[in-house]
Amino acid sequence: MLHVGVIGCGMIGRDHIRRMTDVITATQVVAVSDAFAENGKRVAAQYGCAFYEQGEDLIADPNVEAVVICTADDTHARFVLACIAAGKPVFCEKPLGVSAEECLSIVEAEMAAGKRLVQVGFMRRYDRGYRQLREIIRSGEIGAPLIVHACHRNLTHNDWHTSDMTIKNSGIHEIDVLRWLLGEDYATGQVLTVKQNSSATEGLLDPQIMLLETKSGARIDVEVNMSSGYGYDIQCEVVGEKGAIRLPDPATILKRTNCARSYEIYDDWSKRFIEAYDTEFSEWAQSLKQGGPVGPSAWDGYAACLAADTLIRARNERAILPIELPEIPAFYRSAGR
Amino acid sequence: MLHVGVIGCGMIGRDHIRRMTDVITATQVVAVSDAFAENGKRVAAQYGCAFYEQGEDLIADPNVEAVVICTADDTHARFVLACIAAGKPVFCEKPLGVSAEECLSIVEAEMAAGKRLVQVGFMRRYDRGYRQLREIIRSGEIGAPLIVHACHRNLTHNDWHTSDMTIKNSGIHEIDVLRWLLGEDYATGQVLTVKQNSSATEGLLDPQIMLLETKSGARIDVEVNMSSGYGYDIQCEVVGEKGAIRLPDPATILKRTNCARSYEIYDDWSKRFIEAYDTEFSEWAQSLKQGGPVGPSAWDGYAACLAADTLIRARNERAILPIELPEIPAFYRSAGR
Amino acid sequence: MLHVGVIGCGMIGRDHIRRMTDVITATQVVAVSDAFAENGKRVAAQYGCAFYEQGEDLIADPNVEAVVICTADDTHARFVLACIAAGKPVFCEKPLGVSAEECLSIVEAEMAAGKRLVQVGFMRRYDRGYRQLREIIRSGEIGAPLIVHACHRNLTHNDWHTSDMTIKNSGIHEIDVLRWLLGEDYATGQVLTVKQNSSATEGLLDPQIMLLETKSGARIDVEVNMSSGYGYDIQCEVVGEKGAIRLPDPATILKRTNCARSYEIYDDWSKRFIEAYDTEFSEWAQSLKQGGPVGPSAWDGYAACLAADTLIRARNERAILPIELPEIPAFYRSAGR
Amino acid sequence: MLHVGVIGCGMIGRDHIRRMTDVITATQVVAVSDAFAENGKRVAAQYGCAFYEQGEDLIADPNVEAVVICTADDTHARFVLACIAAGKPVFCEKPLGVSAEECLSIVEAEMAAGKRLVQVGFMRRYDRGYRQLREIIRSGEIGAPLIVHACHRNLTHNDWHTSDMTIKNSGIHEIDVLRWLLGEDYATGQVLTVKQNSSATEGLLDPQIMLLETKSGARIDVEVNMSSGYGYDIQCEVVGEKGAIRLPDPATILKRTNCARSYEIYDDWSKRFIEAYDTEFSEWAQSLKQGGPVGPSAWDGYAACLAADTLIRARNERAILPIELPEIPAFYRSAGR
């Protein structure tokens, strides 16, 4: 049983606490921390575990074997670095940091510590559909992948959503999962702005299209659409030399009513990816028993953040920019699954 | 150019006149007849062709090379027999007659005349989907067909629709097309009555399920549903020893709206089978040029009517009854495609 | 943590032990028993739990809070009765007994004991698709259900498969789940035998079609096909007064290769229903914490067995037979979800 | 009956002659011409019509009421101009000319002649699926269209296929039909080259991705893929403010065999678009009876050619280029459907 401490008891934090308590057999939440002490204490009481006002104190608790970070984005790096300093495995919700530089500092600290401790919450890699796509690509059945057409559509967006968040918080899932799917780094990036959806907030660039080119010359287009108006919909088609494969839609009832055959589309991500989250935490706990994390590494977190930063610049400058990721250090080469 | 006379200028008659004028290159309508003289004259004027009050006079017109019959069901046999007597090819809308006996009298007259002249309007055989099913069955790809699951669903029904019409006017399409699809005659029939749809007319048996067994022991179930409440929907799955094949739904736009993926279902048969009608008439005209009709024969009309009559009796007697079709005469053996 | 003893360490037994150890958080396997002592001891060693040669001794073990029975069908009733006698909750794989009489004896024993202890392993009720079908039916969206078209197709069958097993071991899943889906008992049953699949074992009636009529007059046809030749395929369409709904196929990758769009069909039940098994055990363990089992009851096991027995007789006598289930005792009325 | 002369009796020319003879009721082919006299004479003999060595002589034949041009691309403009000079309606297979300049000369000649005579063979506009897409867009159901994702995939390509032909002969269909679908002209164009398919001819840029931006800021990406390796596949998804709609795949049989559900994909364009061609010629003949062509105009031919030329330059210069189509002259404003 892995004894876990969770820093950040917001919506996603509480969901992970529930998951590690009720769904995953190999984990037990022994401590929580939250910036809002009242909220954190309530959660601690509910799950019968310790509470710490300061995340650093939770990390220092000798009962805490591993840490999960679900705090505000701009505190991720601080807590991850503290875990590395304490020599404790840490699962950090994406993004790893708010800038490529911040991510790189984590990479350097982890390498200096000499041991992989960090895993980043890119849960798409745990979705059954993406895994099947990857298996088929690896089998060679469709030849080399040449093009990926993807889209990430939300039903609607929050008032505080910004044009940069479209790329850095939503699009980053595709940035990571497609890099993993193709097994390749990116060479260049470009962003197409699109006529604005009239139901999007004034001034928000919505939708946007991210264009990525891999080192080998494969091309990726990703529509990132925060106000699809119809549902939460994730699509991905990989076109290879001998065939094309497509991510399945969730299995839902076929209804024949009102002169239509129809299938439900979910309205948000939680229904769509709930199983991927369960698998992610289950495999993470399993991997820690077996020597260390094998999921998305700090390097992956850095690579995704660097690509996102570059895309934002490319969009602002209306240019096609190189994505200048350094050669992967040997330390990280065997990482990732 | 085949010079055609059309008896019966109701909805379906007028549609066939339009078809033979505007759509089919090989036909020209030269005469029409209708029990309602005013209506018939209006149509004759519109298409610039002769009008006859009596169908028999139209048949006798030397300009009329072939006849199409679209009158009330109970007059079909009379006009078909008149065409046979006149030695003229005749296309008769289904049913060929109102009873198996009436159909048999046509069979006997045609055999006595010594030449195939009669074709029955079982247009399902001209639908691309059914033809593809038949080709695949014949190719042996799925092995011997063992079971057919079919359904015939109307959106809603007319006030004057009766429980017998469900079998004899609607179900008869499946009775014919499945016999043709499997290339086999029926051995027994049974009908299951079902809890009544509360939106169906009081007293109407709706839906009903026809069960047929072929001579070789294949089984067929056909839901015949006059008030599906959602659309006009024809389904057919053939289960063979090595696989199962299914009639395609019409190709319609995939819409993603309102948290659903949806495809239109048509509300009536005319949209669903318009192309089958076109092909039916085109091939009929073609066949007459080449020596005589090769589509559904008088024997097929008789076989379908006999099966329908037996099913109605089976339902009324709550019994499983034999369908006692005589051995097919050599005269008809080569017929049908 | 529920301490469970498992009697029967065959394939399905070992799978449930793995499930209750690795997948379900609320259960711990503390004892196992197996008729083959060597096999049972190996499993006990692997999971670090007690081993008993006799199932009765396992039931008597005070550490065992609840029992799971995965032995040969003809021993189910004996062990279930022993659990009732010991006052311990018992999960019994289907079938509850080898005859309706045997099931009834369990029902009577449980009622005499005065407390629901028995749950039967009808795991289809835990499949997400069937649950969605049931929700939609209950919502009234499609009006009253009138017809169910279902099929249960295996890729191929074992040498020792019999014509009765088709109904009693395979078809029984549909017998139970459709009764649950419609919330109604059966009034009559009939079985259609079909031209034999030439790849089925000589003498095996395969496929068969089960016809069921509910008390309210809804009709069900279930193709039970042990040698589909193409895969493990479970289909279910419910036709209501205002629409029809259909069980989803599993979500698999769309491949475009070799002039075809294609989706994988699984080759056996374990992939198809793995999640349903997980949910079944998770909810069972949960329910025991909360007062007692709420899943398929001994009465449900009895009802399914009675219907299956009647169907086999109906097939052998080529008759339509009444299914004479007594009125449900008040004891069971609130049971089932 | 429209008396038509056909210049060019190659594969597509002969297919149109067959179509205007056997399928379309309103047309009759009265004369043909072909650069290979022997071939042309054979076709003339087969259809019992006049033969001319010179296309210009065919155009001058007083029996010829309208002309269809199916010759080599670089002769199109010459014959179209001759028809305009003769005051005869002319249907010209795409492309209208080999350069935007050549197309513009036709536009100017037609305007000088003062009457619309020219129609260009962009048959996609006659495909039922594209028409349904357009209707839905026009209905406002999905709000303003923001993005189009399209792809044009051939199974394989000819030896003599060039990187420019990918855009100018294949991609031009999408260039025209998407401009028509959105009812808007293009503002900018860009082409992404992609890692080469190893089965494509050495040196061929294959696949390519055309990026177009409309005047209002909608974005289009079109994969143009000459060696998909799996079939002829045309896809089109229009993403609007409130929903997304998708071109249907052709209706083909669902097969369940070999652990897969599969649907046929055609191997070439002729099966995919045969009905669109029939509709195109039928409506063209109809329009001439009613005063003049209403299909794709010389202006549309010019607009498509200009966009294609610009895209080729953009690709070669790796730049995003403006597509500088002049304001549409009043003469053409009412044209197009």
CA-CA distance, A278 to A23, in Å (whole number)?
7
Q: What tokens were used for A20?
A: 């590690």
Return the percentage of chain A with pLDDT > 70, whole number.
99
Q: Nearest-CA neighbor of D10 among D46, D47, D35?
A: D35
Nearest to D273 by CA among D232, D229, D222, D224: D232
Per-residue confidence (pLDDT) for residue B37, from 0 to 100: 96
Listed as own residue / partner, the contacts of B84-89 with beta carbons closer than 8 Å and 24 or more positions apart are B84/B109, B84/B110, B84/B113, B84/B117, B84/B118, B85/B109, B85/B113, B86/B59, B86/B60, B87/B113, B87/B115, B87/B117, B88/B59, B88/B64, B88/B117, B89/B65, B89/B117, B89/B118, B89/B119, B89/B288, B89/B292, B89/B293
Contacts within 8 Å (CB) and 24+ apart, B293-296: B293/B89, B293/B91, B293/B116, B293/B117, B293/B118, B293/B119, B294/B335, B294/B336, B294/B337, B295/B119, B295/B120, B295/B122, B295/B125, B295/B126, B295/B336, B295/B337, B296/B119, B296/B120, B296/B121, B296/B122, B296/B125, B296/B176, B296/B180, B296/B336
Chain D: closest CA distance from residue A72 (Å): 31
Q: Where are the beta strands (DSSP E) in chain B?
A: 2-7, 27-33, 50-52, 66-69, 90-92, 118-120, 145-153, 186-193, 208-214, 219-225, 233-240, 244-246, 254-257, 260-264, 321-322
Q: How far is CA D95 from the centre of its chain?
A: 7
Q: Which two tokens stand for residue D13?
A: 């020319």
Minimum-distance CB partner of D209 among A199, A219, A243: A219
Residues of B in contact with D141 (CB under 8 A): 255, 257
pLDDT tens across B176-197, in order?
Answer: 999 999 999 999 999 999 999 9
Specify the pTM: 0.96
Minimal CA–CA distance to A32: which of A2, A86, A1, A71?
A71
Give the best residue of B1, B257, B259, B286 to mutate against chain D (max D CB count within 10 A).
B257
Tell me how far apart the alpha carbons of residues B199 and B26 are, in angstroms, rounded to a whole number: 45
Backbone angles phi, psi at A68, to 5 degrees: -120, 130
Burial of A135 (0-12, 13-18, 19+ CB in 10 A): exposed
Longest distance between any two alpha carbons in chain B, whole Å:
64
Side-chain-side CA neighbours of C57 within 13 Å: the count stands at 10
Query: Looking at chain B, which residue has its C-alpha nearest residue C156?
Result: B242
Q: Which CATH fold would you assign to the domain B127-271+299-333?
A: Dihydrodipicolinate Reductase; domain 2 (3.30.360)
- Residue with token string 């919502």: C139
Interval B268-300: pLDDT, tens: 988 999 999 999 999 999 999 998 999 999 999
Q: Do B225 and C216 touch (CB under 8 A)?
A: no
Q: Mutate which of D142, D212, D239, D321 to disrupt the A interface (most A C-beta within 10 Å)?
A: D239
**Distance from D270 to chain A by nearest Cα, in Å?**
21
Give SS3 for B252: coil
CA distance C176 to D195: 55
Q: How far from chain centre, in Å, is Cα B286? A: 19
Look up residue C134 and give its amino acid: R
Shortest CA gap B290–chain D (Å): 15
Is C257 close to D155, i.e. CB distance below 8 A?
no
Cβ D128–B251 below 8 Å, yes or no? Answer: yes
CATH topology of domain D2-123+277-297: Rossmann fold (3.40.50)
pLDDT at site B337: 44
Q: Can you tell me the ipTM of this complex?
A: 0.95
Which of these CATH numbers, 3.40.50.720, 3.30.70.60, 3.30.360.10, 3.30.70.2190, describes D124-268+299-323? Answer: 3.30.360.10
Tell me the torsion sign for CA atoms D181, D182, D184, D186.
Answer: negative
Architecture field, domain B2-123+277-295: 3-Layer(aba) Sandwich (3.40)
Contact D251 B136 (CB under 8 A): no
Q: CB neighbours of B331 closer than 8 A, spacing ≥ 6?
A: B110, B111, B116
The pLDDT tens digits of the residues spanning C250-278 come to: 999 999 999 999 999 999 988 999 999 99
Task: Provide the residue-wise pLDDT of chain B in tens; the chain has 337 residues.
Answer: 899 999 999 999 999 999 999 999 899 999 999 999 999 999 999 999 999 999 999 999 999 999 999 999 999 999 999 999 999 999 999 999 999 999 999 999 999 999 999 999 999 999 999 999 999 999 999 999 999 999 999 999 999 999 999 999 999 999 999 999 999 999 999 999 999 999 999 999 999 999 999 999 999 999 999 999 999 999 999 999 999 999 999 999 999 999 999 999 999 988 999 999 999 999 999 999 998 999 999 999 999 999 999 999 999 999 999 999 999 999 998 754 4
Which helix (H) or strand (E) covers residue A233, if one does? strand A233-240
List pLDDT tens digits, range C42-79: 999 999 999 999 999 999 999 999 999 999 999 999 99
Q: How is residue B151 written in tokens? A: 């359904």
CA–CA distances in Å: residue A308 to residues A52, A324, D192: 34, 12, 20
Please give the mean pLDDT across all residues of chain D: 96
Question: Minimal Cα–Cα distance from D255 to chain C, Å?
Answer: 9
The pLDDT score that the predictor gives to residue C1 is 87
User: Which amino acid type is present at position A271?
Assistant: K
Domain extents for chain B? 2-123+277-295, 127-271+299-333
If you measure CA to CA, which chain D residue comes closest to B23?
Answer: D25
Q: How many CB atoms sit inside 10 A of residue B65's CB?
A: 17
Distance CA D254, CA C256 (A): 14
DSSP run (H or E) holding B331: helix B330-333
Per residue in A92-111, pLDDT (tens digit) is 999 999 999 999 999 999 99
Distance CA B210, CA B215 (A): 16
Residue B287 and residue B299: Cα distance in Å, rounded? 18
If phi > 0 it is left, if psi is from -120 to 50 it is alpha, else beta; for residue C151 that is beta
Residues of C in contact with D155 (CB under 8 A): 259
Residues of B in contact with D23 (CB under 8 A): 25
pLDDT tens track for C130-153: 999 999 999 999 999 999 999 999
CATH architecture of the domain formed by A128-267+299-303+319-325? 2-Layer Sandwich (3.30)
CA distance between the termini of chain D: 23
In this complex, how many residue pairs, one in chain A and one in chain C, have their CB atoms less than 8 Å apart?
82
- Calpha distance D34→D42 (Å, rounded): 10
- Residue-level pLDDT, tens digit, chain A, 337 residues: 899 999 999 999 999 999 999 999 899 999 999 999 999 999 999 999 999 999 999 999 999 999 999 999 999 999 999 999 999 999 999 999 999 999 999 999 999 999 999 999 999 999 999 999 999 999 999 999 999 999 999 999 999 999 999 999 999 999 999 999 999 999 999 999 999 999 999 999 999 999 999 999 999 999 999 999 999 999 999 999 999 999 999 999 999 999 999 999 999 988 999 999 999 999 999 999 998 999 999 999 999 999 999 999 999 999 999 999 999 999 998 754 4
Is the model's pLDDT at C337 over the cut of 50?
no
Partner-chain residue, chosen from D243, D249, D251, that has the shortest CB–CB distance to B256: D243
Alpha helices in chain C (DSSP H): 11-18, 37-47, 55-60, 76-86, 100-113, 128-139, 163-165, 172-182, 269-289, 298-317, 330-333
Whether residue C62 is preceded by a cis peptide bond, meaning omega within 30 degrees of 0, is no
Give per-residue pLDDT as tens, D169-227: 999 999 999 999 999 999 999 999 999 999 999 999 999 999 999 999 999 999 999 99
Where are the alpha helices (H) located in chain A, listed in sequence order?
Answer: 11-18, 37-47, 55-60, 76-86, 100-113, 128-139, 163-165, 172-182, 269-289, 298-317, 330-333
How far out from the chain centre does Cα B10 lie?
17
- Could you say which of B155, B233, B260 has the minimum Cβ distance to residue A264? B260
Mean pLDDT across the stretch C221-230?
98
Q: Is D154 helix (H, G, I), strand (E, B) or coil?
A: coil
Residues 6 or more apart whose Cβ sits within 8 Å of residue C35: C8, C71, C72
- Give B213's contacts in chain C (Cβ within 8 Å): 192
Contact residues on chain D for C233, CB-CB shorter than 8 A = 256
Chains that touch A (3 or more CB pairs under 8 A): B, C, D
Contact A225 D239 (CB under 8 A): yes
| Mean pLDDT (whole number) for C281-299 | 95
Cβ(B172)–Cβ(B103) below 8 Å = no
Residue ranges of chain D whose pLDDT lies below 50: 336-337
